[in-house]
Amino acid sequence: MRILSLAIKDLLQIGRDKKSALFLLLMPILFTWIFGLVFSTDAKRDPRLPVGLLNLDVQGVLSVSFTSLLEQSATVRPVILQENQLGDTLVIELQKRVRTEALAAAVIIPAGFSEQTMRGEQPLLTVIVDKNLPVGQAADQSVQWATTRLLGAVEIAQLSVVSREKNRSFTDEAERQAYIISAMERTIAAWDNPRLTVVLEAAGDASAAATPGLPGGYAQSSAGMLVLFAIFGLVLSGYVLLAERRAGVLQRMLTTTMTRVEIIAGHTLAMFVVAWTQILLLMASGQVFFGVNYWRDPVAVLMMSAALALWIASLGLFISAISRQENHVVLYALGSMLVLGLMGGAIFPLDITGKTFAAIGHLLPSAWAIDGFQSIILRGAGIESTLLPAGILIFYAIAFFGLAVWRFRFE
């Protein structure tokens, strides 16, 4: 009962401080939005490399098929160029655009390309690319891929013509050409429907990361900012014992029968309620404003948020127990925020770092907290995926609670 009374006293004091709402709620929402923009991708923008395509074989069937093959590429996208836009020095202008990286590469389809190829000749495409650049290498490979498919389809079509002519001749040259074109189109279409395919799918529920139309980057930034600003609450927790020491409350507690464990437990309970309330409000704002689906598994989310709040409260009371001045609280709290945030993946995901950095980061409870939330909102996993992260947070909470009791003094 005395633990509960002490917690209620702390909560009433915190409730009178209106400025705390700015730091505990409004700033996290603002930073969630900012970092969400950083990690987001614009769904309307085509991320493929631009390859300029100048088609001088205007009426050619093969030039149309070649353009279609480039459009199907996952690496490049054709940018249709007009001869009158480039002037008399076509090659020089295209070289300039490739050199300035306005285009990853440029391809010129010569006049008569289709007709000559259909006759069995080998007209050359002009490919302008800087193979010293990674984008140039990728673009060149995609152009070669499209060319190989096109010429392979023509060769197969011509073999098909030879096979048919052994049994039945064509009535005229027009029928023969129509058959070649039809066979070539069927061959190109067959590339898109292979008998053996390999499909890569993301683990879990992809819809859990964000609702349709919203960038998935908010799933990273929301979880990261939630943990980061929960850690920021250490400043508030760190002032608890310092304020009571200055007001003489701790000295008066010497006249009571309250033990050090009860005092730390009472303050920890109050800080747990504050931290958990903040976390729940931030999750609600992430759900409403940024479309991050926190509540797809309410039990798992509540367990993770409670474990995070308990760890933050215990760490805050440990900081409060070892601090004797206000600057000590600020130093320890902001230092913890910086280390736990940067190393734990709150600012940037640990997935993009090296294995060594990620392994070191997972020595910190903040990394496990983010993993637990992202298992729910990014991977669509259930409560079983949060048992280990929540357990590690609770372990750290018990450890810091014990350290706070050990370092607490009534003076």
pLDDT 10s digits, 351-374: 677 778 888 888 899 889 988 888
pLDDT of residue 30 exceeding 80, the answer is no
Q: What is the pLDDT of residue 212?
A: 37
Classify 49-191 by CATH class: alpha beta
Sign of CA dihedral 8, 14, 18, 20: negative
Is residue 67 within 8 A of residue 146, CB to CB? The reply is no
Q: pLDDT tens for residues 126-153? A: 899 988 877 788 888 888 888 888 888 7
Indicate the DSSP class of residue 109.
Answer: E
Other C-beta atoms within 10 Å of 372: how many? 28
pLDDT of residue 254 exceeding 70, the answer is no
pLDDT of residue 199 exceeding 60, the answer is no
Average pLDDT score, the chain: 77
Is residue 142 within 8 A of residue 107, CB to CB? The reply is no
pTM: 0.57
Which residues make beta-bridge pairs with 253? none
Q: pLDDT tens for residues 262-320? A: 888 888 888 888 888 888 887 887 777 777 777 778 888 899 999 999 999 898 888 88
Q: What is the pLDDT of residue 206?
A: 43
Per DSSP, helices labelled H in 168-297 are: 173-191, 217-232, 234-246, 249-253, 260-290
The CB-based long-range contact list for 94-100 (8 Å cut-off, 24+ gap) reads 94/52, 94/54, 94/128, 95/128, 97/52, 98/52, 98/128, 98/129, 98/130, 98/136, 99/130
* Degrees, nearest 5: CA angle 275-278-279: 85
Q: pLDDT tens for residues 65-97? A: 888 888 888 788 898 888 766 666 778 888 888
Q: Domain segments of the chain: what residues?
A: 2-41+213-407, 49-191
321: CB partners within 8 A, 6+ apart: 241, 264, 403, 404, 405, 407, 408, 409
Q: What is the pLDDT of residue 205?
A: 46
* Residue the block writes with tokens 């490049």: 76
Indicate the DSSP class of residue 123.
Answer: P
